[in-house]
Structure 1
Amino acid sequence: MKTIQCLIAAAAALMVCATAQARTLEQIRKDGKIIIATEGAYPPFNYFEGSKLSGFEIELGEAIMKKAGLKIEWKTLGFDALLSGLRQDRWDAVIDSVGITEERAKAVSFATPYYCSGGVIASKNPAILTVAALNGKVVAVQTGSTYMEQLNKLPGVKVKNFPQDTDARAALLNNRADAWVGDRFAVKAALAKQPDGGMRMGAYLFIEQIAIAVQKGNTQLAGAIDKAQREVVADGTFKALSEKYFQEDIRCK
């Protein structure tokens, strides 16, 4: 759902990535914790309530790793650094609404998708709610996102990118952009939180699957996550969290 970052770095950085070795599941268990990176600035998926990290993905991640017998050490940082840090073995996994793309799949491995969504158009102008209507308009979007990648393919769109999705939303609300493109559920939550903001939700820009990312080839860890994820779905935890945050089941149909 979110974002395709450019995973092509400077030559020196690529050398570091090439030599990084992912921790095995056995090593993670021996250490007693799994290190997971997230943004902490993408409500309702991951965000801070005061000093406490919260959100759908945080609770889901905790439930999945509990089933896997692992404790989590969360790391929070900008979205565009999450996958590059994973490749450098700075953490074991990324949970941050990472959309599966062909390019990303070349650089990291993904567990089974845990929800499906897509980029939707939001605008205060009812005439700017379709893909065709974006031609010639200023559209706010998060840097490094799949939404930004897709917008850059559209003719005539003036893309205005921001470090955080909330910044892109604020640009629309403050009339510094004609539209905002973000994850359907993030837009839905924003509309519910600010019903008097004048925003409307329009058409999909595209559909995508979202999954937990691990270092490329770390099939042992991905397999353990898949097993635990299935258990979280089977015991009703996923549905309960989904309805708590979105009032609907957001699993891929």
Structure 2
Amino acid sequence: MKRKNQSVFNRIVGRCALTLLACSALATAQTAATTPTLTAGQLTIGTDPTYAPFIFTQGKVLTGFEVELMNEVARRLHLKPVWVYQPFDNLLIGLSQRRFDVVVGSHGITAERLKAVDFALPDYCSGGVILSRPGGPSSPADLKGKVVAVQVGTTYYQRLRQVPGLQSIKTLPGDPQALQHLLSGRSDAFVTDRFVALGAQMKFSGAKLQVGSMLFQEQIGFAVRKGNTRVTAAVNSALKGILSDGTYANLSHKYFKTDIRCK
């Protein structure tokens, strides 16, 4: 997706990135990986918990597919996951300022983003789709002359700007606001991640929302500060084990009834 853009968390400055650069690596028996040795034994993770079913809160508990996946990565690296909330648009900025070691925000891996940050292996593949009310636009051609809602700062917004003939693009702070914009009739369509669209379709079944064409496909990954190869290598090693030993498949089926890895 999203998602997409910069995510959640209050401005809590994590010192893990500085420590990671200074510390030596150790091999973990579980992943046979090179793991950063942290003085505090923790991994600071930036996120915006407004992207169900990937990153969201139930009461005060942070959960979701990517949350559980990253918690498992941290467990295999023998590190305590420390989650910090920031608005999506601030996440990659905070990462470059060393506030986090990793950002979990359903960020699409794009050439533009790769200029500013590094990414671990893709943790799933998705794409942008058109969500609309009954009889609304379902293909890129149908969007001509339409008002389209989208979350600000996302790859979906960038792609929408390339679609000719739109009446206007309404940028909203998050997917929930963009969805409400659609449900209230203030926009004709909402372009978002396919999983968000499917979730909205189920949650608001009475609205009979329709999921239209996929505008594009993309790989989604965890962002790491540019040049922080120790963190990237450690996360990748843990992910490889998770992908190969059945853990990923079980977690994916728990949330989506299918395996959503990139193939």
Give the TM-score normalised by the residue count of structure 1: 0.90
Cα deviation digits, residues 199-218 of structure 1 (max 9, x gap): 10000111100011100011
SS class of match (1:240): helix
Aligned to 1:11: none
Contact between 2:136 and 2:189, CA under 8 Å: does it hold in 1? no
Partner of 1:53: 62
Match of 2:2 in 1: 2
Q: 2:210 aligns with which of 194, 200, 220?
A: 200
Determine what percentage of the aligned residue pairs are the same residue. 44
Cα deviation for residue 127 of structure 1 reads 4.5
CA distance in 1 between counterparts of 2:161 and 2:18 reads 34
1:22 touches 1:218 (CA, 8 Å); kept in 2?
A: no
CA gap 1:156/1:170 in 2 versus in 1, 3 angstroms: same
Gapped regions of structure 2 (runs ≥ 5) = 7-16, 25-35
Whether contact under 8 Å (2:3, 2:193) holds in the other structure is: no
CA RMSD, Structure 1 to Structure 2 (Å):
1.7
**How far apart are 1:251 and its partner, in Å?**
0.2
User: What amino acid maps onto 1:96 in structure 2?
Assistant: G
Going from structure 1 to structure 2, the CA distance change for 1:169 and 1:22 (only over 3 Å counts) comes to: farther
Quick one: which amino acid aligns to residue 119 of structure 1?
G
Residue equivalent to 2:155: 146
Q: Superposed, which structure 2 residues align to 1:72-111 within 5 Å? A: 72-111=81-120
Partner Cα separation in structure 2 for residue 176 and residue 127 of structure 1: 13
Q: 1:209 aligns with which of 206, 219, 235?
A: 219
Deviations 1:79-123 (A, max 9, x none): 111001101111111011010011100000011111100000000
Q: Secondary structure at the match of 2:169?
A: strand
Q: Does 1:248 align with 2:258?
A: yes
Worse overlay, 22-31 or 86-95: 22-31
Q: Tell me how far apart the structure 2 counterparts of residues 239 and 34 of structure 1 sit (CA, whole Å).
A: 24
Matches within 5 A, 1:30-69: 30-69=39-78
Residues 10-39 of structure 1: per-residue CA shift (max 9 Å, x gap): xxxxxxxxxx96843646622210100111
1:206-239, CA deviations, whole angstroms, 9 ceiling, x for partnerless residues? 1100011100011111011011011112221111
| 1:3 and 1:148 in contact (8 A); partners too | no
Match of 1:12 in 2: none
Amino acid at match of 2:149: A
The alpha-carbon distance between structure 1 residues 133 and 154, as it changes in their structure 2 partners (threshold 3 A), is same
- Given that 1:22 and 1:92 are in contact with CA atoms closer than 8 Å, whether structure 2 keeps it comes out as no
Distance 2:144 2:234 in 1: 45
Query: In the alignment, which residue of structure 1 is the partner of 2:201?
Result: 191
The Cα shift of 1:198 comes to: 2.0
2:175 to 141, 154, 165: 165
Could you tell me which runs of 5 or more consecutive residues in structure 1 were left unpaired when the two chains were aligned: 7-19
Write the letter of the residue equivalent to 1:173.
L
* Residues 1:137 and 2:146 aligned together: yes
Q: With the length of structure 2 as denominator, give the TM-score of the two structures.
A: 0.87
Aligned residues: 240
Q: Secondary structure at the match of 2:261?
A: coil
Shift of residue 2, structure 1, vs aligned partner = 2.2
Which residue identity is paired with 2:97?
Q
Cα distance in 1, alignment partners of residues 78 and 176 from structure 2: 34
What's the CA shift for 1:5? 5.0
